[in-house]
Amino acid sequence: MAELNGTISYREAVAEGIAREMRRDPSVVCLGEDIGAAGGVFKTTQGLFAEFGPERIWDTPISEQAIVGAALGAAMTGVRPVAEIMFSDFLACCWDYLANEIPKVRYMTGGQVNVPLVIRTANGGGLGFGAQHSQAVENWALTIPGLKIAAPSTPADVIGLMASAIRSDDPVVVFEHKGLFASKGPRPPEGHTVELGRAAVVREGTDVTLLALAATVPTALAAAERLAEDGVSAEVVDLRCLIPMDLSTVLASVGRTSKLVTVEENPHQGGWGGTVVSVVVEEGFELLDAPVRRVTSANVPLPFADNLENEVIPTVDKVVAAVKAVVDY
């Protein structure tokens, strides 16, 4: 699976992260559409069926409610299921479970049951899949108290956050970004974990904080590189999780730079940056020397054509323009 030279792709890291947990904990099982012998439509479960067999890797019908509903029932009764929803857009088909069942069971029973459940899903655009297979919907999950939410940007974080998600006794939705599957990075050592709810400062800077998530992290890093050529020092923070939300790292970074630009792939309306910014202005207003800017997807359904999609989603050019407006304020 992984290359011998010490790098691993984001796509391979998904399977590797799951496999590491399945090796250490026999109660971890996977279910989803085409995840078995087919290895997943994105090949993110490649090799799992061969290693763990049909009693731990379960192909399901195209029945999103049955997939996550059964995963929930299993999670309540001594199993740690990892359920795949093929495209995150399809979460809408089983939204009752994410909105009404999974996040509420523990609370409304007065803590009588735990829900150690992972739902993983391929999220995001940039690949020309059109309006129903391209959305970044991490903000949907953010509207529901009771779900933890991870969205890794690197192969090492995929493995580290997958480990924490699977070991968590709470439900975690893991958004894997389709645009990152082919990207590569260092292969983390065995036992690597990334705590849920810990953001990472992935580039230090002094003039502006770029707060990014998943595929917008490389976008923000590319923008920071270009801005450096113009003498602007951008700090890039990878939020990594939406819940728990590491706002102290965000506020500390804004304290250093006094300016904030969020880079979000979800639409501007209801996007996660709105929650971040509301806290920053409530608790960090004195830290700011310029208005906050949000670079987001536009409030339209995602179009098919490359040039139209680029017009709508965050790009390096848009981030650079937003930063320049903020630093010139």
Partner 1 sequence: MSEGKELLALYEQMAVIRRVEKVAYDMFLAGLVKGTTHLASGHEAVAVGASAALRPDDYVFATYRGHHHTIARGGSPEACLAELMQKATGICKAKGGSMHLTYAEGNMLGSYAIVGAHLPMAVGAAWSARLRGTDQVAVAFFGDGATNIGAFHEALNLAQVWRLPVVFICENNLYMEYTPIGSVTAVEHPAAGRAPAYNMASEIIDGNDVLVVRDAVARAAARGRAGEGPTIIEAQTYRHYGHSRTDPAKYRPAEEVEAWLKRDPLDIARNRLESLGVDSGEIAEADRRATETVEAAVAAAKAAPEADVAEAFTDVWADGGAAWRN
Q: Which is nearer to partner 1, 7 or 65 (CB)?
A: 65
CA atoms of 70 and 75, how far apart (whole Å): 8
169 binds partner 1 (CB under 8 A): yes
CA atoms of 263 and 162, how far apart (whole Å): 23
Q: Which of helix, strand or coil describes residue 36?
A: coil
Restricted to residues 79-98, the positions that interact with partner 1 (CB under 8 A) are 79, 81, 96-97
57 binds partner 1 (CB under 8 A): no
200 binds partner 1 (CB under 8 A): no
Which span (3-11, 69-77, 208-216, 297-305) binds partner 1, by CB under 8 A? 69-77
**Active-site position among 16, 64, 84, 138:** 64
| Helix 10-24, helix 155-167: angle, nearest 10 | 30
CA atoms of 116 and 83, how far apart (whole Å): 11
Which x/- pattern, by CB under 8 A, does the window 25-44 give for partner 1? --x-x---------------
CA atoms of 93 and 91, how far apart (whole Å): 5
Picking from 85, 89, 35, the residue whose alpha carbon sits closest to that of residue 64 is: 85
Planar angle of CA 218, 219, 222, nearest 5 degrees: 85
244 binds partner 1 (CB under 8 A): yes
Q: Which is nearer to partner 1, 56 or 268 (CB)?
A: 56
Number of residues forming the site for partner 1 (CB under 8 A) = 51
Q: Which is nearer to partner 1, 90 or 97 (CB)?
A: 97
Identify residue 269 by its one-letter amino acid code: Q
Give the nearest distance from C-beta 108 to partner 1 in angstroms: 4
Q: Which of 36, 39, 116, 179 binds partner 1 (CB under 8 A)?
A: 116
> In this structure, what token pair is assigned to residue 53?
């067999």
Which span (1-9, 104-112, 125-133, 186-194) binds partner 1, by CB under 8 A? 104-112
| Residue 64 annotated to the active site | yes
**What own/partner pairs with CB < 8 Å and gap ≥ 24 does 22-25 have?**
22/48, 22/51, 22/52, 22/56, 25/80, 25/166, 25/167
Q: Which of 248, 269, 278, 299 binds partner 1 (CB under 8 A)?
A: 248
Query: Whose structure tokens read 């304290």?
Result: 255
> In this structure, what token pair is assigned to residue 253?
């970074």
128 binds partner 1 (CB under 8 A): no
Catalytic machinery residues: 64, 133
> Which residues sit at the interface with partner 1, rule CB under 8 A?
27, 29, 55-56, 58, 60-61, 63, 65-66, 68-79, 81, 96-97, 100-101, 105-114, 116, 145-146, 168-170, 197, 243-248, 279
